[in-house]
Amino acid sequence: MVQRTTADERRSREEIENYLQTLAAAFGNGEESIKIPVGNKTVDLTPPEDAVGLSVDVVERSSRLRGDYEKIELELAWKR
């Protein structure tokens, strides 16, 4: 069974900073289970202490007609 919770939002840089700090604190809290806010919902996850995969993907695209486009994707993945 697969469950997916997705939220696409526009936030200020300060709001993004706060959200990333919330994620960092959840991973560093020493608890077995972590709570991740996603949109108007909170998801409970159980990452392992020592084997969380991290992938960072950065896209930089420049176009005279469409303007510049930049994107950062962060992915954290693990098996339980």
Residue 70 CB partners (closer than 8 Å, separation 6+): 58, 59, 60, 61
User: Average pLDDT, stretch 43-47?
Assistant: 95
- Flag whether 63 is in a domain: yes
Domain holding 64, by residue range, is: 13-77
- Flag whether 51 is in a domain: yes
User: Average pLDDT, stretch 33-52?
Assistant: 93
The helix/strand/coil state of 21 is: helix
Mean model confidence pLDDT for the chain: 93
For 18, phi then psi, to 5°, come to -65, -40
CA 21 vs CA 27, 30, 37: distances in Å: 10, 15, 12
Q: What's the pTM value of the predicted model, to 2 decimals?
A: 0.84
Do residues 56 and 74 lie in contact, with contact meaning Cβ atoms separated by under 8 Å?
yes
Total domains, the chain: 1
